[in-house]
Amino acid sequence: MTAALEVQNRILEVAGSQFFSLGFTKVTMDEIAHELGMSKRTLYQYFPGKKALLRKALLSRSERISEGLGKISQSNETPFGQKLEQALTLVATEIPHFSPIFLRDIQRHAPEVWQELDRRREEHIHTRFGQLIQEGVKEGFLRKDIDAEVLVLLFSTLIRNIVNPETLSHLPLSASQAFSVISGVLFEGILTDKGRAQYRKKEF
């Protein structure tokens, strides 16, 4: 990794952390530069503005999640039940990084970035969970009488509604807790007896 790429990744980590916890509008480029220990001029050499930095931080996080799901679904040595558990855990772990304040903020003040993130999220879910669901059906862990495309759509809708400030404001649970409860109900309903036994088992 080049020195420039290392600096860029560090900027994304620091800026992303501040954006996700405090909100997009409440964080300034001056504050990000100060936190990084660099001048604002140096920061602008890597990113032309705060919105460009926001976009890259979000897409970088999205790609990281997609890569993680890809590694899980493509593993040839991991049983399906464990893959499902790992995939759900990964998503549930990532959701809390996006606070309701942040989500509401970018919907209002950076709608084009939100729309791009939402589109890419749809693509990742369709590809990664589509692979996992197809495998589950083929190996007899998921019910064959439920169309795989419908299952992917259900899961996509679940994530879209959980990662939504309006939904979260009406729930007595955190985003990750809500996701775990709802996804558990969803997958318990589509698993076969064989799949349910493995999914419930803690030592795979």
Instruction: Check pLDDT > 70 for residue 37.
Output: yes
Residues 42-58 have pLDDT tens digits of 999 999 999 999 999 99
Domain contains 65: yes
Domain contains 44: no
The number of domains in the chain is: 1
What residues make up the domain containing 62?
Answer: 58-200
- The answer to whether the predicted template modeling score (pTM) of the entire model surpasses 0.85 is no
**Residue 202 pLDDT:** 47
Residue 171: pLDDT band with limits 50, 70, 90: low
Domain contains 121: yes
Residue 182: pLDDT band with limits 50, 70, 90: low
Domain contains 43: no
CATH number of domain containing 120: 1.10.357.10
Element (H, E) at 14: helix 3-22
Give the CA count within 13 Å in the CB-facing half-sphere of 116: 16
Domain contains 137: yes
Domain contains 156: yes
Domain contains 130: yes
Q: Report the distance separating Cα 159 and Cα 95, nearest Å.
A: 9
Domain contains 45: no
Residue pair 106/114 in contact (Cβ under 8 Å)? The answer is: yes
Residues 51-96 have pLDDT tens digits of 999 999 998 988 888 899 889 888 888 888 788 778 877 877 776 6
pLDDT higher at 114 or 155: 114
